[in-house]
A and B are shown apart, each in its own frame.
Chain A
Amino acid sequence: MKTFQLARASDSAEAIATAARATTAQQGAEIRFIAGGTTLLDLMKLNVEQPGKLIDVSRLPLGQIEARPDGGLMIGAVVRNSDLAHHPLVRRDYAVLSEALLSGASAQLRNMATTAGNLLQRTRCMYFRATDMACNKREPGSGCAAISGANRSLAILGTSEHCIATNPSDMNVALAALEASIHIRGTKGERSVPMADFHLLPGNTPERETVLEAGDLITHVTLPPPAPGSRSLYLKLRDRTSYEFALASAAVILTLDNGKLARARIALGGVGTRPWRSVEAESALTGQPATESVFRKAAEAALHDARPQSENGFKVELARRCLVHALKLAARIA
């Protein structure tokens, strides 16, 4: 591991001013915020990330979970994943988020990992993690060894000829379905970004994963009020039953009215280069009866643009079945 300076931020303004001296907040950033450290230290040990300075933001006052006046929820950037998953308001109003968090990582890692850190979780693509392999995300222009290599676990939606890396987070899938907003403070003030716009498609610049610029500090995430009468859940399919990344997962939020789907919010995990909100599936569901054939049509719509690689063609049907089963469970027709 390359050595670094370690600084503890005494307030957000100081942390932002220091981090703004970096040339990027994306892959290869010279200055990094650190909170849980579960992704960053792992990648620093692999020399995939080599920041010269770490700013410890874990003791900034960004650790609250609070009900908002509009009935929504405010989640601080450094709230631990375990605290978020077990919070009574999350369990009651946002079951999909609690379930997604508890399906990810291990109890130890959930005790360390934070809200903002999970938003910025990096891909598990083995070529990204191995510095002797070609990877456009780690080293722009070096090529993508995954496209002609071991790509069984990689993405089928949102890929480009430069990158097929999967976004590995479970939490992000739930936040996409919940239409969360990401609140950011930077050198130019504060702004909020809808979850759907926060992560970028790889395109020609897979090294750019989010809208964050140097100095940008995620302060909190907000969730809109839960849709009245809605039911939500997270279903995750993987190679072993615990402590494994998703091959395919689905976050679904349904509001039923006399057997018809008045409202649906759908996101998929394990299959996309970013947390994969499917408005196509939502459109196919809205106004329709809650039946398996309707669910199947929605799943077909969600995977319509899938582009499988040499080893991950099975994911197309796996993701469809995952979504259909999640919808049946949420609608209680399973």
Chain B
Amino acid sequence: MATPESTETVAVGLLVNGKKHDLRIDPRTSLLDCLRENLQLTGSKKGCDHGQCGACTVHVNGRRVNSCLCLAARHEGDEIITIEGVGQPENLHPLQAAFVACDAYQCGYCTSGQIMSAVALLQEPCGPEDGDVKELMSGNLCRCGAYPNIVAAIQKVRRAASAQKTG
């Protein structure tokens, strides 16, 4: 997004996955571009860059947002969590494990956004049915059409969590 006519930069301290980064950036830099280009956290993807596809979904102060529609410079001090902060290959988040178990992706481009949305969904008001999950996941597009398995993976984790709660 930074183009040659840009002259001014602004200072911002970003707290990403528990680590503080002091940066100087073009004020136009989206949080998504900042994560990918300045911090090399390339797990968050750029699909549409207009808040329509959800591939860029991250958590800001515990809520899922489209990082392509955030200006990085406005997030001084906010707690930002990306897919890199959710789990590691040797220690997957239950949703990541469920995505693998349920074959909930094909090309994988939308997957980090899907998982960031789904992790947030676990803490949001959401009814028990598949339709309730579909409604709350509608901001994440999957052009491979892995939707049935994405819903299955999310429901698998929700059922395990509620069984643990009641058991």
Chain A interface residues toward B at CB < 8 A: 1, 3-6, 8, 34, 37-38, 41-42, 45, 54, 56, 58, 82, 86, 105-109, 111-112, 241-243
CA distance A107 to B51 in the complex (A): 11
Q: Using Cβ atoms and an 8 Å threshold, which residues of chain A touch B135?
A: 241-242
B28 touches A1 (CB 8 A): yes
**Is B49 in the interface zone, CB < 8 Å from A?**
yes
A243 touches B26 (CB 8 A): no
Q: How far is the CB of B45 from chain A (nearest CB, A)?
A: 14
**Is B138 in the interface zone, CB < 8 Å from A?**
yes
Q: How far is the CB of B149 from chain A (nearest CB, A)?
A: 18
A6 touches B10 (CB 8 A): yes
9 A-B pairs with the lowest CB-CB distances in the bound complex, closest first: A106-B139, A242-B138, A243-B138, A111-B63, A6-B27, A108-B139, A108-B66, A1-B28, A41-B69
Q: How far is the CB of A291 from chain B (nearest CB, A)?
A: 32
CA distance A102 to B46 in the complex (A): 25
A107 touches B69 (CB 8 A): no
CA distance A58 to B75 in the complex (A): 11
Q: Using Cβ atoms and an 8 Å threshold, which residues of chain A touch B8?
A: 3, 5
Q: How far is the CB of A38 from chain B (nearest CB, A)?
A: 5
Closest residue of chain B to A129 (Cβ to Cβ) is B50
Closest residue of chain B to A37 (Cβ to Cβ) is B69
**Is B71 in the interface zone, CB < 8 Å from A?**
yes
Closest residue of chain B to A111 (Cβ to Cβ) is B63
Chain B interface residues toward A at CB < 8 A: 1, 3, 5-8, 10, 26-28, 30, 49-51, 54, 57, 63-66, 69-71, 73-74, 117, 120-121, 124-125, 134-140
CA distance A38 to B69 in the complex (A): 6
Q: CB < 8 Å: which of B5, B27, B121, B139 contacts A243? A: B139
Q: Using Cβ atoms and an 8 Å threshold, which residues of chain A touch B137?
A: 107
Q: How far is the CB of A278 from chain B (nearest CB, A)?
A: 28
Q: How far is the CB of B74 from chain A (nearest CB, A)?
A: 6
Instruction: Show 7 residue pairs from A and B whose CB-CB distance is below 8 angstroms, ordered by the A residue.
Output: A3-B5, A4-B27, A106-B140, A108-B64, A108-B117, A108-B139, A112-B65
Q: Using Cβ atoms and an 8 Å threshold, which residues of chain B touch A37?
A: 69-71, 74
Helix, strand, loop or mixed for chain B's interface?
A: loop
Q: Using Cβ atoms and an 8 Å threshold, which residues of chain A touch B1?
A: 1
A112 touches B69 (CB 8 A): yes
Q: Using Cβ atoms and an 8 Å threshold, which residues of chain B touch A243?
A: 138-139
Q: What would 6 more interface pairs be, CB under 8 Å, given A105-B139, A242-B138?
A: A3-B7, A6-B73, A38-B69, A42-B50, A56-B74, A242-B135
CA distance A3 to B71 in the complex (A): 12
A45 touches B50 (CB 8 A): yes
Q: Using Cβ atoms and an 8 Å threshold, which residues of chain B touch A111?
A: 63-65
Q: How far is the CB of A242 from chain B (nearest CB, A)?
A: 4
A38 touches B51 (CB 8 A): yes
CA distance A34 to B74 in the complex (A): 10
Closest residue of chain B to A91 (Cβ to Cβ) is B125
Q: How far is the CB of B61 from chain A (nearest CB, A)?
A: 10
A108 touches B57 (CB 8 A): yes
Closest residue of chain A to B139 (Cβ to Cβ) is A106
CA distance A105 to B135 in the complex (A): 11
B66 touches A112 (CB 8 A): yes
Q: Using Cβ atoms and an 8 Å threshold, which residues of chain B touch A5?
A: 8, 27
CA distance A86 to B124 in the complex (A): 10
Among A4, A45, A111, residue most surrounded by chain B Cβ atoms (within 10 Å): A111
CA distance A45 to B3 in the complex (A): 12
Closest residue of chain A to B67 (Cβ to Cβ) is A108
Closest residue of chain A to B57 (Cβ to Cβ) is A108
Q: Using Cβ atoms and an 8 Å threshold, which residues of chain A touch B70?
A: 37, 41, 112
B73 touches A107 (CB 8 A): no
CA distance A3 to B5 in the complex (A): 8
CA distance A109 to B49 in the complex (A): 13
CA distance A283 to B30 in the complex (A): 49
Q: How far is the CB of A23 from chain B (nearest CB, A)?
A: 22
Closest residue of chain B to A35 (Cβ to Cβ) is B74
Q: How far is the CB of A59 from chain B (nearest CB, A)?
A: 9
Q: Using Cβ atoms and an 8 Å threshold, which residues of chain B touch A86?
A: 125
**Contact A3/B26 with A38-B51, A111-B63 known, Cβ cut-off 8 Å:** yes
